[in-house]
Amino acid sequence: MADSFDDFLPEALRFRSPAPLIDIGANLTHESFNRDLEAVLQRARAANVTKLIVTGTDLEHAEQAVELARRYPGLYATAGVHPHDASHWNASMARDMAALHKEPEVVAVGECGLDFNRNFSSPQAQERAFEAQLGLAAESGLPLFLHERDAGKRMQQMLHAWRDDISQAVVHCFTADRATLYGYLDLDLHIGLTGWLCDERRGHHLRELVGAIPLERLMLETDCPYLLPRNLPAKLKGRRHEPALLPWIGREIAHWHGIGEARLAEATTATATAFFRLPHTDSEGLQHG
Ligand SMILES: [Zn+2]
């Protein structure tokens, strides 16, 4: 039988996780997925990636993420304003976000946080928008999906002040150093890992840190279409990252954690299911088209 949706991935990149995986960070509202989203979801299913959290990075994309979660089983959405867009934060946006957080498809507040690496919005604007979204998380009781780059210290100060008022929080795409990691774990936060550590040039330090993350605090994500793993065993046309490649990242992380691929898959899926309060059964996961 010809599986046309498989043609896009070369044979060497058709992975299948030994246990179901959850991709907790998929930017499926990115325009690069407009053309072939259904095929992308079918390939994820074939790879045993059964649930996806679609990242909402501003009001427009959060609304789109909710729409996708309504249309496709196994998809869930986050709703927040990314630190890059923090300068647009205002009272009416806060009200619209609070309304989105009541939708059953929305499982986290975010992506929000601080990014002092690029400062597309000023640090002051970032802190203002982040503070407001910490408040929305406290109000809604939803967990937080956090972004932090070169801002670990300030992030931990702000989280410390809110820690008793918010439920759970995950630092997505963690790439920082050991001291920052320990600071987050001390705050009883969760850690999201991407294929960053597949990058020989800049991910090396992460490989030694992976084992320090308890399995009940660790979750996996592609952050697709960004962060295509650099050590894939074959070239990928267009170099767009997608959820079907998550098993490769899981395999790498399991290796550096010193456990089997299946054990890592089972543990991270259990952690993500509890964290985002997802249904336990696979029957509500991604369906065959
Ligand atoms: Zn991010």
For residue 77, report the distance from its CA to the centre of ligand 1, in Å.
15
Distance 145 CA to ligand 1 centre (A): 9
In the reported structure, the alpha carbon of residue 111 is separated from the centroid of ligand 1 by a whole-number distance in angstroms of 7
Q: Tell me, in angstroms, the distance from the centre of ligand 1 to residue 112's CA.
A: 8
Domains, the chain: 20-281 (3.20.20.140)
61 alpha carbon to ligand 1 midpoint, in Å? 14
Say yes or no to pLDDT of 250 above 80: yes
Cα–Cα dist 280/269, whole Å = 10
Distance (angstroms) between ligand 1 centre and the Cα of 1 equals: 39
Average pLDDT over residues 272-277: 98
**Span 19-67, pLDDT tens digits:** 999 999 999 999 999 999 999 999 999 999 999 999 999 999 999 999 9
Question: In angstroms, rounded to a whole number, what is the distance separating the alpha carbons of residues 23 and 21?
Answer: 7
**Residue 45 CA to ligand 1 centre (angstroms):** 24
pLDDT of residue 1: 42
Q: What's the CA-to-centroid distance between 3 and ligand 1, angstroms?
A: 33
- Residue 186 predicted with pLDDT over 60: yes
Closest CA to 241 of 3, 19, 11, 30: 30
Query: Tens digits of per-residue pLDDT, 82-110?
Result: 999 999 999 999 999 999 999 999 999 99
Tell me the CA–centroid distance for residue 114 and ligand 1, in Å: 10
Place of tokens 């890059």: 84
